[in-house]
Amino acid sequence: MEEKLIEEVKGWVRDLVEVFVVLAVIIILSKIFLGANLLLPLVAVTSCSMYHGGSLLSGAGCQSHSGWDGWLDGRNISVDGLPFYYGFSKGDMIITVTPDGGGVLLPLFPETAVGDVVIYNRDKLHPGNEPIIHRVVGLVRVSDWRVEGVEGTLACLTIEGFNKTYIRHVRDCVEGGECFYRDYPDSGSFNLYITKGDNNPYPDQCGPNGGIALPVNERQLVARGWIRIPYLGWLKIALNEIIPL
C-alpha cells in the first residue's frame, strides 16, 4: 500500500514537472519569436470597447455603436487593411507581438504605426489595473522635448498642448519631478500615441473629464494585437470572478 502511494506521488511529480517544462518552452519561444513584453503573448479582452457588431462568434453582452470606420475616414485615416478590421469583443483572446519591432529572433513585425491595436499600461492619473487594448489613431514624434511630427489625428488635442503640457509630464518623470506615468522614456526623444476603442465615441485622451488616459508614451506599450481567438478569454474572466487579481 505504501509503495503504491509512493509511486502515485512520483507520477504526480513527473506530471507537474512536464507541465512546467512545457510552459517554460512556450514562454521562451514566445519571447524569441513574438517578443511581447508579457509573460505569455496572450491578452483576454474584458470590455466591449472594440466590438463592431455582426459577429456570430462573440459579442455576448455587447452593443455596437457603429461608425468606427467613418470616424477614421473623417480624419483621413484609411481603414483599408487595418488590423482587426472586424474588431473583437469581450471574451475574446488576443495573441500579441512586440510593440516596437525589436527584441525578436526574426524581424517579422514593424514598429507600431497608426491603425495598429496596442496593449498599454495605465498611467497614474486614471483608475484601473488591467491594461487597455485599443487602436492607435494618432502618433506624435518627439525630439529633444519638442513635437517633431504628427501622424494620424490629434483629435481634441493640439501641438501646443503637447509642447506645453504632455511632453512636460514625461520630462517631469525623467528629471525626478512629479510623475504621472508608471512607465516612461529615459530621454527627450520618444513617441506619444492617441488611442481609441473602435466602439467608443471618443479617443482615450478626450471626452468627459479629459478621457481615460494621458497620451500614451512608448514605454507604456507592452504588446500589439496580432490574432483574435474567439471565446477563449472567458476562461480568464471567469477565473478573475472566482479569484480576483
In tens, the pLDDT along 81-132 reads 999 999 999 999 999 999 998 888 778 889 999 999 999 999 999 988 889 9
In tens, the pLDDT along 60-77 reads 778 888 799 999 999 999
Q: Chain-centre distance of CA 226, in angstroms?
A: 11
Is the pLDDT at 58 greater than 60? The verdict is: yes
* Confidence at residue 55, expressed as pLDDT on a 0 to 100 scale: 58
Specify the range with the lowest mean pLDDT, choosing from 85-89, 127-131, 189-193, 195-199: 127-131
Is the pLDDT at 244 greater than 60? The verdict is: no
SS (H, E, C) the chain: CHHHHHHHHHHHHHHHHHHHHHHHHHHHHHHHHCCCCCCCCEEECCCCCCCCCCCCCCCCCCCCCCCHHHHHHCCCCCCCCCCCCCCCCCCCEEEEECCCCCCCCCCCCCCCCCCCEEEECCCCCCCCCCCEEEEEEEEEEEECCEEEEEEECCCCCCHHHHHHHHHHHHHHHHCCCCCCCCCCCCCCCEEEEEEECCCCCCCCCCCHHHCCCCCEEHHHEEEEEEEEECCCCHHHHHHHHHCCC
| Under 8 Å between Cβ of 40 and 27 | yes
Is the pLDDT at 32 greater than 90? The verdict is: no
List the domain boundaries for the chain: 2-25+39-242
Three cell numbers, residue 199: 466602439
